[in-house]
């Protein structure tokens, strides 16, 4: 048989939409309607307070409740979120990391309440902390403690929740932070190795069960616009993981060595300018992870055309789901064997990636592994991203609609109504809800459960039983986390900006300007208030400012208004640059301005990030000097503006 | 609060009254140099001499900032105030700098009992910035009792700090031997206290033995530098380090070495000021018409560089 065409089609991948916002109730409705539209799995986005372990009434949660995901603060809300969704049939993916053990605890507690056995539960907790340190930013505890929590979850699931993927190793976020394909492969595999070594050495899993644990490791991968290379990347991943499982962990069963992965396609390359072009980008990126049958994604979620404008509305998400459906159901894609088998072009590109990635992987292992090398890896990512930005600014890398073919006919898309806005009243509602919850539970029971949790954390016991018990007793997300913060301490991630230099003639010219200023080079504070972890912009602005001859203070993500103001005052900076992408700028900026005033700081404040057009004037009105958005990709121009501002400010002193 | 004036003396008085912004602006004036800095130097000289300064030096990434932060916590727990000058390297190509030491000191940012100020080297070699000594003097005159100076992390341990601080702490890491082989002798000379930071890592004990041997071999004065093991990121050993600083301070006071060191420091500063003033003078002289004329004569071979130099120097001294 020349089996180019098979009579039976392959089964389509799992189609998901990453979603959740406002409240558990609203999100439950959204999920149910998505399932009716043919979506075949759940992918839950949590709000930032839930991800970083704060209750809605915590000062740091202010402005962030229900914004970029669903708030889940206690078991009652988990119950509402999953109402009428059959837990024994549903495959639920939760993007949750530092507080993953807690959210799994709530999920299990809820299942038991519904009479569903934990052995029937299927799904994934993302639970990958290395990529939180390197890119995503919702880490809480230091590396060692975080690793221990992960190991505990893996060990617990291996025994009690066997169908659950306790961890999903992510390379996705590394590409979103600027990683090259080689870095993406090497750092995520190093991460997987670090975790598996730790599970093996923990003694919590009997050697006979260990191959199954190896087999339970799944991955979450990115697919960028260079989709031919991405096909090769997936094949490289598949080959390398198979080899590592065999050589390092002696897993004999090939099925357990299979590189199982889900995908979200690249969002970093999706543009604010001419946003309709994003649709073709998304389709091409989807091809990168579906074309090759042998390296095809298990599940896929696609961002929406309005990615760089704001949160997607249901219709935007439906459009992206329909892209998947057309690809899987209308085309002949699923009828063929691997269409690249025998292609020497694909083969040679794949082996090039494999070789380079092995080299980089060795390097990381030599540095002591992914956890140990976080600071170094972060720097390497920032360097890669700086290079990417430089290429876009110099037009070496073409981005249609941005640095090429910028002219456009008038577009019916865009504008202020074109993305989802979360009602700020949600926060008040959630604060009332948690008050209510706290007063209706048995405080004695909660105290006891939290005390048991503390002891488990302090000792060697697996964290899960005490966590599930605390969930059942009615503890809250903030309370669970507070206990662990107390025991483990809190971690501040590396900023990675120390070494990136880049070679931009434009910035060099600005540097000459900076150095000629009579009162010394400009001093700039770059700061990220709120819980927002999108650090790319702040990092790139900090690096650019340094390369533009400025003296730069940047303390990393999640700093308070008081922290910003005290730093600005003590360092006598000339400019304060805020970066906010989480959508909470209207709440946060006035808080920062007030704090600056309290501290006697008069330096101008500029801001960049995802700032919708309508809000830009509002920010200027409260006293912000300049607003920048992703459209302002020419960093040199931004830096020249900064020097202008500094000159103006100093001339008034 | 009104905008602080640029008059250094008025600013100083404001800072004395507790205005942090005025203090910060004083530091900027000192960094800028020039006439205002000079005035400030003159004004603060007689008011200083009460603070005790601790220099922390070591290779890049050895944990100087983390250790400074841990030390600050100890000092604060004793209800004493301190200020920190953290020196970061300026890029020789662009002049820009990442003022990154502060990142490790974030626990203290909103504590009004600590003042942390970053300074870029701005082309100055040796691990400090040109303005560091004067910044120390201003902080001293303002009544900060403890001043910690973190040097730039450079390949070798920088010696300049030994001149600028009363107590010099040298930070090394386990396995240091290979990294600073050539510079060990220099280390022995500057270190009043050795810290083996990151002692959670392999080889800490070997390193300790190594240093001990070196110390035994070198001809020490009347102070034997203690070796302290720390894990700065976990606050381990910081209290012991502080104890050692206090001991060293008592030793300096009792032996009279403190006065001696400080006298040497002022002497060195004088030389530095003179040489800097001469540099400036030369800059000015070189722009004068006479100088330009001499240069063109030199070009056409009418006079030789030695002769030209002599005439220029005469011109400058006039
Ligand atoms: C990359 C990315 C990520 C990466 C971030 C990696 C990192 N370390 O930064 C990852 C994958 C981790 C991520 C995660 C999330 N993301 Co995201 N992410 C993006 C994405 C695709 C690009 C942002 C980016 O990095 N661009 C590149 C940088 C260089 O550009 P920039 O920051 O815009 O900066 C430029 C200008 O804005 C300006 N600028 C920016 N800051 C400053 C500061 C100063 C001082 C100055 C002068 C200029 C300036 O200059 C820069 C140069 O041009 C955007 C959508 C988009 N295409 O813009 C969504 C987006 C920002 N993410 C979003 C969300 C919701 C999330 C999550 C919260 C999802 C969730 N529920 O978990 C998570 C959690 C993150 C967290 N901890 O907060 C939303 C925010 C929605 C909103 N504002 O209402 C967006 C808009 C996507 C969407 N439409 O839903 N994300
Ligand atoms: N394991 C371990 N890591 C440490 C310790 N002290 C510091 N570090 C880490 O070492 C890295 C460098 O620490 P810093 O305090 O910035 O070192 P530094 O000497 O100030 O660095 P530069 O100023 O850049 O020269 C950081 O990642 C710290 O978290 C320690 O005792 N043990
Ligand atoms: Mg430092």
Give the Cα separation of A192 and A110 in Å (integer).
Answer: 29
Contact B95 A511 (CB under 8 A): yes
Asked if residue A245 lies in contact with residue A193, where contact means CB atoms within 8 angstroms, the answer is no
Q: Which residue has the higher pLDDT, A610 or B178?
A: A610
H helical segments located in A367-494: 374-393, 425-440, 443-458, 463-473, 477-488
H helical segments located in A203-265: 210-216, 227-247
Q: Is the CB of A529 under 6 A from ligand 1?
A: no
Q: Which of A461, A494, A527 is the last residue of a domain?
A: A494
Give the Cα separation of A244 and A266 in Å (integer).
Answer: 27
Q: What is the pLDDT of residue B8?
A: 93
Classified as helix, coil or strand, A218 is: strand
Say yes or no: B81 contacts chain A, CB-CB below 8 A. no
Q: Is the CB of A136 under 6 A from ligand 1?
A: yes
User: Of A61-70, A144-153, A598-607, B112-121, which range is least confident?
Assistant: A61-70
Name A516's bridge partners: none
User: Of A301-315, A492-506, B18-32, B70-84, which range is least confident?
Assistant: A492-506
How remote is the CA of residue B220 from the centroid of ligand 2, in Å?
29
Q: What is the pLDDT of residue A260?
A: 94
Give the Cα separation of A501 and A387 in Å (integer).
Answer: 9
Give the Cα separation of A186 and A370 in Å (integer).
Answer: 10
Contact A571 B120 (CB under 8 A): no
Contact residues, chain A to chain B, C-beta under 8 Å: 492, 495, 497-498, 501, 507-508, 511, 514-515, 519-521, 542, 545-556, 559-560, 562-563, 566-567, 569-572, 599-602, 653
User: Of A285-294, A586-595, B60-69, B266-275, which range is least confident?
Assistant: B266-275
Residue A37's pLDDT band (cuts 50, 70, 90): confident
The answer to whether residue A171 scores a pLDDT higher than 70 is yes
Give the Cα separation of A144 and A369 in Å (integer).
Answer: 13
The verdict on residue A211 lying in a domain is yes
Residues A510 and A624 placed together within one structural domain of the fold:
yes
Residue B169 is classified by DSSP as E
- A508 contact residues in B (CB cutoff 8 A): 93-94
Active site residue A18: yes
The answer to whether residue A491 scores a pLDDT higher than 50 is yes
Q: What is the pLDDT of residue B153?
A: 80
Active site residue A358: no
Q: Which residue has the higher pLDDT, A441 or B190?
A: A441
Active site residue A173: yes
Contact A515 B95 (CB under 8 A): yes
| Number of domains into which chain A is organized | 3
The verdict on residue A198 lying in a domain is yes
Q: Is the CB of A493 under 6 A from ligand 1?
A: no
Mean pLDDT (chain B, rounded): 89
How remote is the CA of residue B105 from the centroid of ligand 3, in Å?
9
Q: How far is B220 from chain A (nearest CA, A)?
A: 37
DSSP character string of A131-188: HIIIII----S-HHHHHHHHHHHHHHHHHH-TTEE--EEE-HHHHHTT--HHHHHHHH
Active site residue A633: no
Contact B96 A548 (CB under 8 A): yes
Q: What is the pLDDT of residue B177?
A: 60
Across the range A567-591, mean pLDDT stands at 96
The verdict on residue A15 lying in a domain is no
Contact A551 B97 (CB under 8 A): yes
Q: What is the pLDDT of residue B158?
A: 55
For the CA atoms of A106, A108, A114, A117, the dihedral, rounded to the nearest 10 degrees, stands at: 180
User: What ipTM did this prediction achieve?
Assistant: 0.92
Q: Tell me which CATH homologous superfamily contains domain B47-255.
A: P-loop containing nucleotide triphosphate hydrolases (3.40.50.300)
Best residue among A142, A369, A375 to mutate for probing ligand 2's pocket (most ligand atoms within 8 Å of CB) is A375
Across the range B207-231, mean pLDDT stands at 88
Q: Of the bound ligands, which one is closest to the alpha carbon of residue B69?
A: 2
Residues A379 and A240 placed together within one structural domain of the fold:
yes
CB atoms within 10 A of CB B134: 24
The answer to whether residue B180 scores a pLDDT higher than 70 is no
Question: Which candidate in A534, A574, A628, A633 is catalytic?
Answer: A534
What's the CA angle centered on A129, arms A128 and A135, to 5 degrees?
Answer: 100
Active site residue A21: no
Q: What is the pLDDT of residue A16?
A: 82
Q: How far is B100 from chain A (nearest CA, A)?
A: 7
Q: What is the pLDDT of residue B2?
A: 43
Q: Please give the number of the atom of ligand 2 that sits closest to the Cα of B60.
A: 25
The verdict on residue A236 lying in a domain is yes
Q: Please give the number of the atom of ligand 2 that sits closest to the Cα of B86.
A: 23
Say yes or no: B115 contacts chain A, CB-CB below 8 A. yes
Give the Cα separation of A39 and A250 in Å (integer).
Answer: 37
The answer to whether residue B4 scores a pLDDT higher than 60 is no
List Cβ neighbours of B73 (8 Å cut-off, separation of 6 or more): B107, B108, B235, B238
Residue A13 is classified by DSSP as P
Give the Cα separation of B315 and B312 in Å (integer).
Answer: 5
Give the Cα separation of A401 and A273 in Å (integer).
Answer: 6
How remote is the CA of residue B117 from the centroid of ligand 2, in Å?
19
Best residue among B66, B87, B99, B179 to mutate for probing ligand 2's pocket (most ligand atoms within 8 Å of CB) is B66
Give the Cα separation of A513 and B259 in Å (integer).
Answer: 45
Residues A466 and A351 placed together within one structural domain of the fold:
no
The answer to whether residue B154 scores a pLDDT higher than 70 is no
SS3 content of chain B, % helix, strand, coil (to 5): 55, 15, 30
Rg of chain A in Å (alpha carbons): 25
Handedness of CA B37, B38, B39, B43 (dihedral sign): positive
pLDDT in tens, A378-387: 999 999 999 9
The answer to whether residue B188 scores a pLDDT higher than 80 is no
Structure tokens at B249: 């301070």
Best residue among A305, A525, A534, A643 to mutate for probing ligand 1's pocket (most ligand atoms within 8 Å of CB) is A534
pLDDT in tens, A428-451: 999 999 999 999 999 999 999 999
Give the Cα separation of A450 and A158 in Å (integer).
Answer: 25
Q: Which residue has the higher pLDDT, A585 or A17?
A: A585
Mean pLDDT (chain A, rounded): 94
Q: Is the CB of A321 under 6 A from ligand 1?
A: no
Q: Whose CA is nearest to atom 1 of ligand 2?
A: B198
Structure tokens at A510: 């600005």
Q: What percent of chain A has pLDDT over 90?
A: 89
Delimit the domains of chain B by residue range. Answer: 1-46, 47-255, 267-317
Q: Of the bound ligands, which one is closest to the alpha carbon of residue B62?
A: 2
Structure tokens at B101: 């030491």
The verdict on residue A55 lying in a domain is yes
- A514 contact residues in B (CB cutoff 8 A): 94-96
Say yes or no: B99 contacts chain A, CB-CB below 8 A. yes
CATH of the domain at A610: 3.40.50.280
The verdict on residue A107 lying in a domain is no
- A556 contact residues in B (CB cutoff 8 A): 103
Give the Cα separation of A127 and A141 in Å (integer).
Answer: 13
Q: Of the bound ligands, which one is closest to the alpha carbon of residue A628?
A: 1
- B102 contact residues in A (CB cutoff 8 A): 553, 555, 567, 571
Residue A312 is classified by DSSP as P
Say yes or no: B114 contacts chain A, CB-CB below 8 A. no
Give the Cα separation of B57 and A610 in Å (integer).
Answer: 42
Asked if residue A522 lies in contact with residue A514, where contact means CB atoms within 8 angstroms, the answer is yes
Across the range A300-311, mean pLDDT stands at 93
Across the range A485-507, mean pLDDT stands at 91
Name B236's bridge partners: B231
Handedness of CA A632, A633, A639, A640 (dihedral sign): negative
Domain that holds residue A627: 505-651
- A552 contact residues in B (CB cutoff 8 A): 96-99
Q: How far is B189 from chain A (nearest CA, A)?
A: 30
Question: Which candidate in A532, A554, A574, A585 is catalytic?
Answer: A532
Q: What are the Cα distances from residue A43, in Å, to A22, A69, A97, A262?
A: 16, 11, 14, 11
Residues A258 and A185 placed together within one structural domain of the fold:
yes
The verdict on residue A525 lying in a domain is yes
Q: How far is B65 from chain A (nearest CA, A)?
A: 13
Residues A457 and A372 placed together within one structural domain of the fold:
no
Across the range A281-285, mean pLDDT stands at 97
DSSP character string of A599-621: TT----EEEEES--HHHHHHHHH
Contact A599 B6 (CB under 8 A): no
Across the range A414-430, mean pLDDT stands at 87
How remote is the CA of residue A57 from the centroid of ligand 2, in Å?
35
Name B115's bridge partners: B83
The answer to whether residue A2 scores a pLDDT higher than 50 is no
Give the Cα separation of A231 and A338 in Å (integer).
Answer: 11
Q: Please give the number of the atom of ligand 2 that sits closest to the Cα of A375.
A: 27
Structure tokens at A131: 């990529």
Q: What are the Cα distances from residue A104, in Å, to A108, A157, A470?
A: 6, 10, 12
Across the range A316-338, mean pLDDT stands at 95
The verdict on residue A275 lying in a domain is yes
Handedness of CA B218, B224, B225, B228 (dihedral sign): positive
How remote is the CA of residue A375 from the centroid of ligand 2, in Å?
10
């Amino acid at each position: 048989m020349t089996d180019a065409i098979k009579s039976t089609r392959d089964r389509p991948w799992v189609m998901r939409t990453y979603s959740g916002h406002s409240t558990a109730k609203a999100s439950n409705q959204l999920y149910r309607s998505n399932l009716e539209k043919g979506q075949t799995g759940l992918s839950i986005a949590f709000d930032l307070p839930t991800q970083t372990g704060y209750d809605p009434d915590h000062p740091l949660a202010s402005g962030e409740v229900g914004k970029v995901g669903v708030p889940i603060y206690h078991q009652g809300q988990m119950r509402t979120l999953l109402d009428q969704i059959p837990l024994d049939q549903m495959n639920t993916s939760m993007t949750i990391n530092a507080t993953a053990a807690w959210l799994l605890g709530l999920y299990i507690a809820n299942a038991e309440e519904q009479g569903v056995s934990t052995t029937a539960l299927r799904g994934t907790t993302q639970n990958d902390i290395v990529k939180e340190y390197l890119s995503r930013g919702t880490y809480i505890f230091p590396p060692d403690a975080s690793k221990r929590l992960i190991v505990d979850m893996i060990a617990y699931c291996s025994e009690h929740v066997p169908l659950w993927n306790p961890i999903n190793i992510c390379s996705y976020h590394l590409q979103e932070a600027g990683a090259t394909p080689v870095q993406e492969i090497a750092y995520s595999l190093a991460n997987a190795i670090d975790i598996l070594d730790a599970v093996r050495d923990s003694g919590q899993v009997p050697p006979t069960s260990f191959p199954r644990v190896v087999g339970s490791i799944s991955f979450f991968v990115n697919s960028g616009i260079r989709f031919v290379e991405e096909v090769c990347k997936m094949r490289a991943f598949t080959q390398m993981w198979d080899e590592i499982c065999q050589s390092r962990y002696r897993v004999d069963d090939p099925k357990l060595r299979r590189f199982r992965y889900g995908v979200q396609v690249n969002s970093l390359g999706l543009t604010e300018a001419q946003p309709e072009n994003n649709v073709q980008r998304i389709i091409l990126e989807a091809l990168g992870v579906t074309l090759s049958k042998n390296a095809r994604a298990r599940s896929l979620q696609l961002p929406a055309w309005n990615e760089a404008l704001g949160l997607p509305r249901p219709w935007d998400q439906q459009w992206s789901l329909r892209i998947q459906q057309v690809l899987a159901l209308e085309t002949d894609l699923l009828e063929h064997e691997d269409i690249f088998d025998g292609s020497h072009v694909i083969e040679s590109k794949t082996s090039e990636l494999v070789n380079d990635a092995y080299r980089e992987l060795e390097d990381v292992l030599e540095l002591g592994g992914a956890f140990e090398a976080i600071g170094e890896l972060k720097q390497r990512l920032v360097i890669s991203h700086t290079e990417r930005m430089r290429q876009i600014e110099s037009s070496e890398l073409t981005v249609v609609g941005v640095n090429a073919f910028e002219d456009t006919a008038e577009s019916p898309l865009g504008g202020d109504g074109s993305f989802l806005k979360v009602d700020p009243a949600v926060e008040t509602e959630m604060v009332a809800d948690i008050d209510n919850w706290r007063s209706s539970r048995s405080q004695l029971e909660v105290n006891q459960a939290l005390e048991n949790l503390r002891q488990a954390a302090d000792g060697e016991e697996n964290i899960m039983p005490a966590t599930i018990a605390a969930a059942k007793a009615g503890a809250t997300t903030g309370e669970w986390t507070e206990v662990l913060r107390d025991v483990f301490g809190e971690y501040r991630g590396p900023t990675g900006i120390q070494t990136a230099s880049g070679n931009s003639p434009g910035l060099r010219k600005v540097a000459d300007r900076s150095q000629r200023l009579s009162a010394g080079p400009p001093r700039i504070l770059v700061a990220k208030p709120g819980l927002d972890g999108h650090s790319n912009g702040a990092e790139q602005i900090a690096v650019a400012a340094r390369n533009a001859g400025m003296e730069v203070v940047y303390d990393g993500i999640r700093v308070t208004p008081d922290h910003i103001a005290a730093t600005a005052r003590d360092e006598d900076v000339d400019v304060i640059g805020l970066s906010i992408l989480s959508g909470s700028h209207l709440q946060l900026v006035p808080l920062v301005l007030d704090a600056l005033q309290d501290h006697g700081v008069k330096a101008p404040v500029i801001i960049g990030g995802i700032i919708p057009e309508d809000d830009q004037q509002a920010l200027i009105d409260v006293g912000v000097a300049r607003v920048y958005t992703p459209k302002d990709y020419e960093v040199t121009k931004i830096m020249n503006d900064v020097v202008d501002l500094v000159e103006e400010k100093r001339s008034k002193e | 609060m009104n905008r602080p004036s640029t008059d250094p003396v008025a600013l100083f008085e404001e800072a004395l009254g507790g205005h942090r912004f005025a203090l910060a602006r004083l530091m900027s004036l000192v960094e800028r140099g020039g006439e205002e800095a000079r005035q400030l130097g003159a004004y603060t000289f007689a008011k200083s001499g009460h603070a005790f300064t601790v220099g922390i030096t070591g290779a890049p990434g050895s944990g100087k900032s983390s250790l400074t932060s841990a030390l600050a916590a100890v000092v604060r727990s004793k209800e004493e105030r301190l200020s920190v000058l953290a020196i970061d390297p300026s890029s020789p190509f662009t002049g820009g700098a990442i003022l990154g030491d502060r990142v490790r000191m974030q626990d203290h940012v909103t504590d009004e009992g600590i003042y942390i100020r970053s300074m870029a080297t701005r082309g100055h070699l040796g691990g400090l910035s040109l303005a560091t000594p004067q910044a120390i003097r201003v902080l001293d005159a303002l009544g900060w009792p403890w001043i910690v100076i973190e040097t730039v992390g450079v390949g070798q341990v920088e010696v300049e700090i030994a001149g600028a601080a009363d107590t010099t702490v040298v930070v090394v890491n386990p396995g240091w031997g290979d990294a600073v082989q050539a510079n060990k002798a220099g280390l022995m000379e500057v270190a009043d206290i050795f810290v083996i930071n990151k002692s959670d890592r392999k080889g800490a004990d070997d390193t300790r033995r190594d240093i001990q041997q070196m110390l035994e071999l070198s001809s020490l004065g009347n102070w034997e530098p203690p070796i302290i093991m720390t894990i700065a990121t976990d606050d381990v050993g910081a209290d012991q380090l502080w104890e050692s600083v206090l001991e060293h301070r008592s030793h300096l006071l009792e032996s009279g070495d403190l006065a001696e060191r400080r006298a040497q420091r002022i002497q060195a500063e004088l030389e530095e000021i003179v040489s800097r003033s001469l540099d400036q003078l030369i800059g000015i002289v070189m722009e004068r018409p006479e100088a330009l004329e001499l240069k063109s004569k030199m070009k056409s071979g009418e006079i030789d560089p030695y002769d030209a130099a002599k005439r220029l120097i005469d011109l400058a001294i006039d």
